[in-house]
Amino acid sequence: MRIIGTGSSLPKKTVTNDDLSRFIDTSDEWIRERTGIGERHVISTESLDELAMDAANKALEDAGVLPTQLDYIICSNMVNEYVTPSLASIVGGRIGSQCPAFDLNAACTGFLYAMDVAEVMLKSGRAEYILLISAEEPSRIVDWNDRRTCVLFGDGAAAVVLTKGDELKAIKVSSKSNKSVLYYKRHLEPTPFVMRTKDAGPLCMNGKEVFKSAVSSSLRDMRYVLNKAGLTKENITYFVLHQANLRIIDFIREHFEADAAQFPTNVEKYGNTSSVTIPLLLDELNRGGKLRKGDILVFSAFGAGFTSAACVLEWNKSAKE
Ligand code: COA
């Protein structure tokens, strides 16, 4: 596969750490020190499908591809207002595409899972152009009175357009089932046979356990894909990591003994936007003119499941004017 276009879209409303400290017992100092996060964007008047449509249109425009040329739309999403139809179907209608469209949920690792699926479709000849969107609104599943979780997340959408190519050098996706460290149980209607409704939501997380799993899986996955691609850390222009927490990223970088300049971050501005973080950072790098043809990138993500994934790919797109 080859990435030929990127785009992103964020909610208008920003919430700073000081804003949060007005209604929960927290502080800018605590949040910055433990997470690196300064502010996040959260959905208020807009809807997630509007953000996803905006990100998709920008990526298509960047790629020079029309919605009618798309063969598939895959949307990485954990939760949105609609269980059905899929967010991908809704966005397909909004951008004027009639190709097959479906959602995929691998929590914060979803973008890399979707890349893995897209690669198979492109390789098999089933598709020429695929639109891959990550769109997430974690602000709608956290308890805004729980300072251990609500300070970490933000909403947004980001997209890439993919076509055939041999730029993906290695990819590894994995899942190790554990539903007690990070989970959200949705509300389902009671039936004459099931009366269980009270244990739904909000998002629950054991932060320390997630931290440990994140560091170990990311290091393992990145070493695996680098080895598979026959590359070393010195060959890598940027490690584009899931932006969950600056401390996790620093920890991984230190273990990896890599240069800080190789690890761009934007978690300071957006918090953890779940599966959006990697395409959002990629779009910033692309539009900021930071990427050159031939650059080698490593992506690495981890999240609820417990899922994780990493890949190595070559950037082979002309610099954004
Ligand atoms: N503001 C102020 N104090 C807070 C707080 C906040 N927002 N959140 C927690 N605290 C308090 C706790 O209540 C606890 O107080 P206590 O000792 O009086 O009980 C204290 O800070 C330490 O809490 P702890 O949970 O041990 O902190 P931590 O150092 O593990 O940091 C996280 C918490 C969530 C920042 C950290 O565990 C983490 O980053 N985990 C990974 C989370 C993640 O990335 N999840 C998404 C993965 S996709």
Residue ranges of the domains in the chain? 2-166, 170-314
CA–centroid distance, residue 183 to ligand 1 (Å)? 16
Q: Could you confirm whether 266 is annotated as catalytic? A: no
Ligand 1 atom 26: residue of nearest CA: 208
Q: Could you confirm whether 255 is annotated as catalytic? A: no
Give the model's pLDDT for residue 188. Answer: 87
Give the model's pLDDT for residue 197. Answer: 64
Give the model's pLDDT for residue 18. Answer: 98
CA–centroid distance, residue 14 to ligand 1 (Å)? 22
**What CATH number has the domain spanning 170-314?**
3.40.47.10
Is 303 near ligand 1, meaning CB less than 6 Å away?
yes
- Please tell me which residue in 242, 245, 286, 311 is annotated as part of the active site: 242
The C-alpha angle with vertex 8 and arms to 64 and 211, in degrees rounded to 5, equals: 135
Spell out, as residue ranges, where the chain has pLDDT lower than 70.
196-197, 319-321
Which class for 197: exposed (0-12), middle (13-18), buried (19 or more C-beta within 10 A)?
exposed
Is 210 near ligand 1, meaning CB less than 6 Å away?
yes
Looking at domain 2-166, which CATH architecture does it have? 3-Layer(aba) Sandwich (3.40)
Give the model's pLDDT for residue 199. Answer: 80
| One-letter-per-residue 3-state SS of 241-294 | ECCCCHHHHHHHHHHHCCCHHHCCCCHHHHCECHHHHHHHHHHHHHHCCCCCCC
Give the model's pLDDT for residue 319. Answer: 63
Is 207 near ligand 1, meaning CB less than 6 Å away?
yes
Is 148 near ligand 1, meaning CB less than 6 Å away?
yes
Pocket test for ligand 1, best of 211, 243, 302 (most atoms within 8 A of CB): 211
Give the model's pLDDT for residue 105. Answer: 98
Report how far residue 128's alpha carbon sits from residue 314's, in angstroms, rounded to the nearest whole number.
19
- Please tell me which residue in 17, 77, 80, 108 is annotated as part of the active site: 108
Which ligand 1 atom lies nearest to the CA of residue 208? 37
Give the model's pLDDT for residue 206. Answer: 96
pTM for this one? 0.97
Instruction: Please check whether the two domains, 2-166 and 170-314, share a CATH topology.
Output: yes
Report how far residue 75's alpha carbon sits from residue 82's, in angstroms, rounded to the nearest whole number.
13
Which class for 220: exposed (0-12), middle (13-18), buried (19 or more C-beta within 10 A)?
middle
